[in-house]
Amino acid sequence: MLASVTVRAPAKVNLALGVGPLREDGFHGLATVFHAVGLYDDLVATPLPTGSGIQLHVAGEGASEVPLDGTNLAWRAVEALVPYGGSHDVSLAIRKGIPVAGGMAGGSADAAAALVAVDALFGLGLGRETLMDVGAELGSDVPFSIHGGTAVGRDRGTELTTAMVRGTFHWVFVLAEEGLSTPAVYRETDRLRAGQPVPEPEVPAELMSALRAGDPVALGKALRNDLQTGAVSLRPLLAQVLSIGEEYGALGGVVSGSGPTCAFLARDDEHALDLAVAFTASGVCRTVRRAVGPVAGAKVVDQRAAG
Ligand code: C5P
């Protein structure tokens, strides 16, 4: 057994998020394109003496809003690996770099990081496929947080196929003052669509070809999110954020997942800096972050041997 393992897990943005009708299991069938971007949570896992139980520490921006009990997805990830040879006696120290309740899968990144860390700490040798299957039981975005890169997600978002992508894209993320609840945004989306036929969602072909070509202009035009109307309905300020992006020449703008973070695509690093400055000056947001994508999924970045 190792003395400690550090895992770094990325945030995600959905480049397209097609949402089908509400299913009987309480979820919606999705056709989505996940894209991992360079905002990270770091998690350090350390074994504790037998009988200690799980200890969870969270630091960084928004840490006070993160639960520290069995409702935390990282905590549940430790429990989920006990039948595979893991242990309850683990300390997890998380440093948040991903906005909390921002629609960027911060909680899922922590679960992914905990799965990868516990696997390494106890030498379980489970492999990424098994960790992704265990992760799917914890949350719809957890398998992608392990997968990373860019991937098409179907079913609940848990059935992943790697997408072909050329080059790197430059993003600006505009963070809101307060988070939005994912179930509430799905409910609002259903409410707004009540009485209308909801087709089975499809991944836009023009988005996939923009990714293959590494064409940011085409990608900017192809960004889609069926949850955007619901998120804007619950948080009308987001309409203003999206129109400021357009005004300042972003190649495209979209609510990230269930929001309230908005993602804007820039031509290059310099354009991203210009956009970030404009958003900061506009006063409509709490914080602005720049990041590139795609980046790798949750991975071990440091490990220490015992003794
Ligand atoms: O799986 P996860 O915990 O991220 O889902 C949170 C909530 O978001 C679900 O309980 C459900 O209300 C909604 N959801 C959904 N369809 C999906 C994913 C999430 O309705 N495909």
Selection from 155, 203, 159 nearest residue 23 by Cα: 155
Q: What percent of the chain has pLDDT over 70?
A: 100
Sign of the torsion angle spanned by Cα atoms 58, 64, 70, 71: negative
The answer to whether 15 and 138 have CB atoms below 8 angstroms apart is no
Question: Per the annotation, where are the binding residues for ATP?
Answer: 99-109
Write down the pLDDT at residue 240.
95
162-171 per-position pLDDT tens digit? 999 999 999 9
Q: Which residues of the chain have pLDDT under 70?
A: none
- Is residue 189 within 6 Å of ligand 1 at its C-beta? no
Determine how many CB atoms are found less than 10 A away from the CB of residue 210: 24
Nearest 10 degrees: Cα torsion 162, 163, 165, 168: -70
- CA 280 to CA 266: how far, in whole Å? 16
50-63 per-position pLDDT tens digit? 999 999 999 998 99
Domains in the chain with CATH codes: 2-162 (3.30.230.10), 169-293 (3.30.70.890)
Respond yes or no: is residue 25 known to be catalytic.
no
Question: Of 42, 119, 141, 215, which one is the catalytic site residue?
Answer: 141
174-232 per-position pLDDT tens digit? 999 889 999 999 999 999 999 999 999 999 999 999 999 999 999 999 999 999 999 99
